[in-house]
Chains A and B, each alone.
Chain A
């Protein structure tokens, strides 16, 4: 998938495509319609348990299937989702690659053993039924964070397949992601050159807002950015980036425009509260510029190009944004896959250069 090398890829249906140097789509979602899909990838015990216990679905209420955000109307009906993604998203916008982030509810399960069984099944399903079908596809490793040892084992099991380019966790889990409990995961991530992708969503161990449970889905979805803020603060203040100096974190479907204001606040208060976290030896603003990346859908900005330009300017970095369609989530209509107002000279950086700089495994040729 190297931008310099220009790789031959096989589109669905065996069509040869060459010299594709289009965008790298850093956030697309394969849908698991039923636990039955995973049955071939489960052990006999868990396969029978699906039937005997009536475990039909691990769908999360983070993306209720009928909610408008969950799928664009023109992406709802398909007989073959791999084909739909490859034609409707990759071919459509000439993408040279896409990273699959599977949001199935593996992280919601309380039983640690069931969680690891499903995580393994999901990762094997992705490898066999997605990655094997189109050489442009890459994926994140779904990890059962319920048990850090299990999560590290799953990373070790999958990392040798170089098509896995990231480790996927949810924005809201059992506890803040900076806590040292999780550090073996970050050590594994750094060891294998895998960014940590934090995606919107919750394991529902806690209310989805810091003030308690909201009544409506719109509140749940909109408040995801609060969780991202808390995770960014946790990772910085607990010293994750001081300890793992090579680690990259990608905020997926986080929205973007909240970041400058939040960083201003965090950096301002760090100036007075620095002695509490002496390992944070430079402004959080600088740490985020070095370690944190964000996908551009949703951007959370009006269509006015001047406003968008000012927001991008506030980030004070050209390196932080990564192109994403957020397929099949309904973030935009038609072919408006780039938000209006992104400066022309930034488009290639966002679409190609920044993804390649963030995901070192994308610079390797397809296996």
Chain B
């Protein structure tokens, strides 16, 4: 596993997302309340681009007519067949044990640290003042 710098934190604001390429693979990075999550940008069903999907919340129910809506923005729906995936875990809602999208560990590091221990790849100049999103892949 190598670390890849994929974005500055400013590029992916709260609730935002960015499509990047990591080791030749498309990866979508989400910012949920300041925490970053990276998913392979390929729906495990038919390969739709999750980055093009709708971010929504989780609706659960304790019985008919009961709608418990929580975790707004933490579910991504594939634009092709609307399957839901948990951005935090990659697990599908319809079949969480067997159907999941690949996740990559994502983290934030200051430029000063990255300049001391350079990551595997970066497509832009890292400066000592900046903060960066890293993905392990």
Contacts and interface: CB of A to CB of B under 8 A. Distances in A.
Interface of A: 180, 238-240, 242-243, 270-275, 278-279, 281, 283
A281 to B, nearest CB: 7
A contact patch SS: helix
Nearest to A275: B59
B66 interface: yes
A242 B62 CA distance: 9
Interface in B30-68: 56, 59-68
A271 B81 contact: yes
Contacts of B64: 180, 238-240, 242-243, 279
B93 interface: yes
28 contacts: A180-B64, A238-B64, A239-B64, A239-B65, A240-B64, A242-B61, A242-B63, A243-B63, A243-B64, A270-B94, A271-B92, A272-B82, A272-B83, A273-B82, A274-B84, A274-B93, A275-B56, A275-B84, A278-B60, A278-B61, A278-B68, A279-B61, A279-B63, A279-B64, A279-B65, A279-B66, A281-B60, A281-B61
Binding site secondary structure of chain B? loop
A272 B81 CA distance: 6
A273 B94 CA distance: 10
Contacts of B95: 271, 283
The residue in A240, A242, A283 that gathers the most chain B C-beta atoms within 10 A of its C-beta is A242
Interface residues of B, number: 19
Interface of B: 56, 59-68, 81-84, 92-95
Contacts of A239: 63-65
Contacts of A278: 59-61, 67-68
A180 B92 CA distance: 30
A98 to B, nearest CB: 35
A271 B61 contact: no
A239 B65 CA distance: 9
Contacts of A238: 64
A283 B94 contact: yes
A286 to B, nearest CB: 11
A240 to B, nearest CB: 8
A193 B55 CA distance: 44
A257 B95 CA distance: 26
Contacts of B59: 275, 278
Give me the 4 closest cross-chain CB pairs, A-B, nearest first.
A239-B64, A272-B82, A278-B61, A271-B94
A341 B84 CA distance: 41
Contacts of B67: 278
Contacts of B61: 242, 278-279, 281
A104 to B, nearest CB: 33
B55 to A, nearest CB: 13
Nearest to B80: A272
Given A242-B61, A271-B95, 14 more contacts: A180-B64, A239-B63, A239-B64, A239-B65, A243-B64, A271-B94, A274-B84, A275-B56, A275-B59, A278-B59, A279-B61, A279-B63, A281-B60, A283-B94
Nearest to B68: A278
A243 B84 CA distance: 24
Nearest to A237: B64
Contacts of A275: 56, 59, 84
A272 B66 CA distance: 19
A278 B81 CA distance: 17
A276 to B, nearest CB: 9
Nearest to B94: A271
A181 to B, nearest CB: 13
A283 B95 CA distance: 8
Contacts of A272: 81-83
Nearest to A178: B64
A272 B94 CA distance: 8
A278 B59 CA distance: 6
B122 to A, nearest CB: 37
A180 B66 CA distance: 14
Contacts of B68: 278
A243 B82 CA distance: 26
A234 B93 CA distance: 22
Contacts of A273: 82
Contacts of B81: 271-272
B52 to A, nearest CB: 15
A270 B95 CA distance: 11
A275 B60 CA distance: 8
Contacts of B60: 278, 281
